[in-house]
Structure 1
Amino acid sequence: MKNKLQFRPASACFLLLAFLSLAQINPSQAQEKEFNFSASLNSDQFFGFYPTFAGSYGFSDKTSFTFYGILWSGGTGGNWGNWTEFGIGANFAAGEGIDINPQIGVLGGNLLSSGTVGPSVFGDGIVPNLTINLNKAKTEGQLYFGYYAPLKDETFADGTTLAYIHYWVNYGFKASPFFSLGAHYEHLINSGGSNVATSTDVYQWLGPYVQFSDPNGGPFARFSFGTDLVDGNDSFFKLTTGFSF
């Protein structure tokens, strides 16, 4: 059946998370809350150029409502039906310098729902994801895991939809308030979608990174590079610059 939204448990989780996150924001306390927003520009040889943004609104000392967006349409993303990702979630302070941020996003485009052969649609897929951030006096790091699952079936030819697993981990040391360096590992898996037998490694990057940051918490620039462990691939590079407002 074509053009019918396939409701799954993840859809119900999305609605529940949105309700719970918003319900805890007390409008009468709005002036006491802290709003944070950041934007970044990213480039690598697989996704091309893709701006991102993220924001949070604190409703207690340890919890915040969060939202984010990824404009995958830049670079090679233009071939994926102007692929766009937007999501919401909540951030929880789990200790000194450690934050846990579960979120769930929804996609517009045609990469997952038709493998780029069908129309660009809202609800191309859903993205439950988790980010754990580490930011201490001398160390920094991040763990991300996201599952890109199709929500619609818009295929025209072989009836195949796509799904992806995307995760990374990096860890580094702050040599000074201005300069840090560490290691980055990132893995993208085409998990097969409607045909799990076609699961393949798209890339598997491993290498160092260097980062230069405003000691006052403003802009930063990070460059990661190294090898691609997938047979037939060679090396990788990833450049990011970000700004906090």
Structure 2
Amino acid sequence: MKKIDIPAFSKVIAALTLILFLGLSSAYSQSDDKFSFDVTLNSDQFFGFYPFFAGSYELSESSAFTFYGILWSGGTGGGWGNWTEFGVGMNFTVAEGLDVNPQIGVLGGSLLSSGARGEAVFGDGIVPNLTIGLDKSSVEGEFYLGYYAPLRDLAPSNGSTLSYLHYWANFGVKASDFFSIGAHWEQLSNTGGSNVTASTTVYQWIGPYVQFSAPSGKAFARLAAGGDLVEGNDSFFKLTTGFSF
């Protein structure tokens, strides 16, 4: 019988379970209007097609328990062991229209634990991440930073675990309650692994975006496109449509 390597990530799973339990316990008995849920469908030339969902439950006027999931497996993640990400955290409103949301996620798949050269496992990696959102009457913006670290080492003798640093920033002006325009910058770096010592930049995108939104805020569509500053790469595109419930 194959031995299951549980100790390598059991503490992380226990911590995530505790955070989830405490968040839900605090939210218990509050009304349903404290709950929000968003779904986006995304496509770009590196990750392919990947649905994303995010939910929150308001705990006070300035804080909320949050959770999210990314189904990377819809695109290139299918070759990374059906790559899947799920996480929880807390959102804090620090000023009107400005939110800070630290979260921590766990991955299933094979990209980080074996460089996509082994079997898919739960605990492929861990993802501490931070999102800062700006949403005011005339401007919008977002900053994201996430570190994808291997939680298990299942790399073959001629392979390596992998780790990545992923971050982006965008800022736009709302020309109306229907249309906004802005700029998007995004970078992904391979920060190394068990047999990799040098960090390399996978892509570095920069370009404009246009967005069309329902005045109610219940739906939007955004296209960002432009150049890739990494030598040998040509350009980028990123298409997203989202729905709020």
Same fold flag (TM > 0.5)? yes
Structure 1 residues 73 and 188: alpha-carbon distance in aligned structure 2, compared to 1, 3 A threshold: same
**Aligned 8 A contact 2:113 2:153 in 1:** yes
**Aligned 8 A contact 1:33 1:59 in 2:** no
> Where does residue 161 of structure 2 map in the other structure?
161
Following the alignment from structure 2 to structure 1, what is the Cα–Cα distance between the partners of residues 44 and 239?
A: 7
> Where does residue 209 of structure 1 map in the other structure?
209
Following the alignment from structure 1 to structure 2, what is the Cα–Cα distance between the partners of residues 3 and 201?
A: 34
Following the alignment from structure 2 to structure 1, what is the Cα–Cα distance between the partners of residues 10 and 196?
A: 18
> Where does residue 178 of structure 2 map in the other structure?
178
Following the alignment from structure 1 to structure 2, what is the Cα–Cα distance between the partners of residues 16 and 165?
A: 26
State TM-score, norm by structure 2: 0.93
State TM-score, norm by structure 1: 0.93
Following the alignment from structure 1 to structure 2, what is the Cα–Cα distance between the partners of residues 240 and 3?
A: 38
Tell me how many residue pairs correspond in the alignment.
242
- Asked if 1:134 corresponds to 2:141, the answer is no
Following the alignment from structure 1 to structure 2, what is the Cα–Cα distance between the partners of residues 34 and 183?
A: 32
SS at match of 1:207: strand
Contiguous gaps of at least 5 residues in structure 2: none
> Where does residue 61 of structure 1 map in the other structure?
61
SS at match of 1:206: strand
Following the alignment from structure 2 to structure 1, what is the Cα–Cα distance between the partners of residues 126 and 205?
A: 24
Following the alignment from structure 2 to structure 1, what is the Cα–Cα distance between the partners of residues 130 and 223?
A: 23
Following the alignment from structure 1 to structure 2, what is the Cα–Cα distance between the partners of residues 56 and 10?
A: 22
After superposition, the C-alpha distances for 1:111-140 in whole angstroms (9 at most, x for unaligned) are 000011111000000000000000001000
Amino acid at match of 2:96: E
> Where does residue 119 of structure 2 map in the other structure?
119
- Let me know the Cα RMSD of the aligned residues: 1.9
Contiguous gaps of at least 5 residues in structure 1: none
Following the alignment from structure 1 to structure 2, what is the Cα–Cα distance between the partners of residues 46 and 6?
A: 30
Amino acid at match of 1:133: G
**Aligned 8 A contact 2:42 2:50 in 1:** yes
SS at match of 1:198: coil
The partner residue of 1:6 within 8, 20, 41 is 8
Following the alignment from structure 2 to structure 1, what is the Cα–Cα distance between the partners of residues 159 and 16?
A: 26
Worse-matched range after superposition: 6-15 or 96-105: 6-15
> Where does residue 23 of structure 2 map in the other structure?
21
TM superposition outliers: structure 1 runs of 4+ over 6 Å: 8-12
